[in-house]
Amino acid sequence: MDHYTELRANVGLLGSQLGETIRQQLGEAVFERVEQIRALAKSARQGEQLQAQQLTQLLAGLSDDELLPVARAFAQFLNLANLAEQHHSISRAGHASIEKPEPLLELFSLLEQKKLDNAQVQQAVANLSIELVLTAHPTEVSRRTLIHKLTEIAACLSQFEQPLTANEQQKVELRLSELIAQAWHTNEIREQRPTPVDEAKSGFAVIESSVWQALPDFLRELDGKLVSATGQGLALDAAPVRFSSWMGGDRDGNPFVTAKVTRQVLLLSRWKAADLFAQDLDLLSSELSMFQANTALREAAAEASEPYRLVLNTLRTDLLHTRDWLTEALKHDRLQRPNDLIWHNAQLLEPLLLCYHSLLECGMASIANGKLLDTLRRAYAFGLTLLKLDIRQDAARHAQVFSELTRYLGLGDYAAWSEDDRQAFLLRELPNKRPLFPKNWQPSAEVQEVLDTCDIVARHGSEALSTYVISMAGKPSDVLAVQLLLQEAGSSFNMPVAPLFETLSDLQQAPDCMRKLLSIDWYRGFINGKQEVMIGYSDSAKDAGVLAAAWAQYSAQEALVALSADYGVKLTLFHGRGGTIGRGGGPAHAAILSQPPGSLAGGLRVTEQGEMIRFKFGLPKLAERSLALYASAVLEGMLLPPPVPKPAWRKLMQQLADDSCEAYRAVVRHNKDFVSYFRAATPEQELGKLPLGSRPAKRNPTGGVESLRAIPWIFAWSQNRLMLPAWLGAGSALARAVAQQHTGVLDEMQQQWPFFTTRMSMLEMVFLKADAEISAYYDKMLVPEAIQDLGQQLRAQLAADRELLLTLIHSDTLMAKEGWIRESIMLRNTYVDPLHILQVELLTRSRQNPDNISAQSNRALMVTIAGIAAGMRNSG
């Protein structure tokens, strides 16, 4: 029996339940039509040409009324297949087939083999600092209501794994068909774009539905492994993993995120934390009925007969009072905060710790280390603000503040000053005690918005806020300007300010920019030995292609690590990765271990985006496994760092980067037909109409490819399966290296250098997902004949690159060692193929007759876009 029998059985079960729902709701004819399409798609995938033609004819001939149900059937099916797969990765049956089923167990076995001493391992775990930053996603296609139903369906699949009586079996089957029917009758596409507040709520929903449970479970496992390995467990206040968010804080290019929205999200975050802790306390006070207590607790409980209950109930009442005040505060723009709220983490921790230590002293350790410890772990990890919020804004918006101010004060125009003059001005003002902004100054609305945001930061403080990220930062003055703005707003804490380096030239100049910043005496004194820097993955790949971007990211990180060591500063690198290869995504474990040695010393901060949040954290057990994967990778990177690249590897890697960048830009920037081809061959223009995320798809509505956000750019190419941004340029560069007899060095790099190994396996995955036949079909139907030859050239390049890669990795099949990923992609193709053909049909109809497209067809088009995204599993 192969490892995937159970997965296929579950996919089959969910599929037949969906079929049954369709038959009951839409009748036999529609059901038969869907089944016919599925059977043809399966045969067409196996290379049967006649069936492939029949499939295309059948789909092209569907009436407007048939389009939507058929599109929905296949899209829903892919959501269910994803769910079956998520379930498989955490089920007993899946253990044998997935990569790293028990990451922590593997890690501690490896550390034992390498004979690392206990103190070293304990120290690494004590220093472990991982911050996962949830970000909204313009292509997060699933709505919250559907996510809940999918979680319930997964619970049914888990129940089927248990031995059930006939009656129990029937009960679970009925529940499953009810849930699938509910999902079918729910509109999977939002009617309106989500607001930033909606996006923030979806972040809270993930914490509530899975991470709240997963985090203490993961820490319990880590603690157990650590005790077995070293004889000593985690500290009580250990919080090796924390969560933050950009949703409601990221205003870069999103005019809908205002200071008012940020305040609302900060208050909602506290509301949700108060609510969740109140639920925990409800359970604890019902269970902790013990009467023995130490002196401290007896005094706090005024000698009550059930001291634990009294203390916990008092805390719960105070939390509910706080939650009620927050409900009221959300209705007003400003509301005076009374003094009797539970507002600081210490107020939450003190009563919990009082109970914990009392139980230990009274010989009830097993009770102390049960549910009460779980709540304490949550209190240290989430605190009363649940998710700390980052603020992100474009550097130009901060410069605009000082430009208006200096003109008002008659000092000239800051915007026109040299970098030296800007720094001199900012460094003169930073230590100055008098206010800088005159009382009667009336700034423009844009400047006022920046000032209001800084005011919110100052009011909400360090427990609620994490990092201030500056996009498009390139000079020391960009960072100093934010420090001065926060200081003027009366901020009482040193909020970490992180410049974000995201294009190729930004990354290349990052070390120089940071050297200048760290050589300023005032600045070094101010940051107190800690600096955060954000590395952008998506924009650099869009700018230069994946290979050149990856090398620029690696080189920048390496130089920044060395620079921080020179200045005695602890550096935290913040990685802005997406879910796709073109945006730095891919398996997290491999990605972390392919970073330069020393880059994890200051901890790891990384974005988790849109649907990847659901794929990694959507179910409690899945979230637990993802946390274990992150922790094991970071610990391995700290304790057994990858090798420093040899000079020969560096030299060849630099050549590969230069050659691949040139080949990539020759197409994307310099081919006169490229932009027209891109717009015709992909649903890029139609994507803008989708009510997906709160951000506009373009930074500049009239610009070309360069103004497109990185997410729609990649999303569009995955819809027609050319996957262009994830491979273009890489193969040409490798071919040139082979022609120059560098095969030996390439082999050595693959075997000994995790950075290069990861690049090659990412290319393998992309080539497995890319599909030249589907791309050719889009071209034939949608691209003007005059520019069709560009598509043919690109597909010829894709085929050549694929063959070359197979030669270099000494294999005749892609992903041969990753059976799980292969199986997963193959399983989906049968269901994704009809969606591609339908999408082409809908695009053809809407482009030929844009004014006459029905609401039905428009929705069907959105459903195909969402369905293909689900089928490709990492959309943007």
Return the active site residues: 137, 542
Q: Tokens 């004590």 — which residue?
A: 126
Residue 630 DSSP one-character state: H
Distance CA 314, CA 310 (A): 6
> What interhelical angle do 710-719 and 855-872 show, nearest 10?
90
Q: Do residues 3 and 91 make contact, with C-beta atoms less than 8 angstroms apart?
A: no
Residue type, 801: D
Phi, psi torsion values for 252, nearest 5 degrees:
-70, 110
Element (H, E) at 570: strand 570-576
Distance CA 57, CA 777 (A): 13
Using the Cα atoms of residue 746, residue 750, residue 754 and residue 755 in order, give the sign of their dihedral: positive
Q: Tokens 């100049």 — which residue?
A: 509
Residue 235 DSSP one-character state: -
Distance CA 109, CA 99 (A): 16
Rounded to the nearest 10 degrees, how much is the dihedral formed by the CA atoms of 191, 197, 203, 209? -70
Structure tokens at 621: 């057990």
Can you name the residues that pair with 388 across neighbouring β-strands?
244
Residue 338 DSSP one-character state: P
Distance CA 61, CA 32 (A): 15
Distance CA 446, CA 259 (A): 11
Distance CA 189, CA 170 (A): 32
Please classify residue 785 by burial: count the beta carbons closer than 10 Å to its beta carbon, then call 0-12 exposed, 13-18 middle and 19+ buried.
Answer: exposed
Distance CA 713, CA 674 (A): 13
Distance CA 142, CA 607 (A): 19
CA angle 645, 651, 656 (to 5 degrees): 105
Distance CA 753, CA 731 (A): 19
- Which among 588, 591, 575 is positioned nearest to 616, based on CA atoms? 588
Q: What is the DSSP string of 195-220?
A: PHHHHHHHHHHHIIIIIHHHHHHHHH
- Provide the 10 A C-beta neighbour count for residue 15: 19
Distance CA 664, CA 694 (A): 31
Q: Tokens 């709505």 — which residue?
A: 143
List all residues 6 or more positions away from 740 whose beta carbon is below 8 Å from its beta carbon: none
Phi, psi torsion values for 138, nearest 5 degrees:
-55, -20
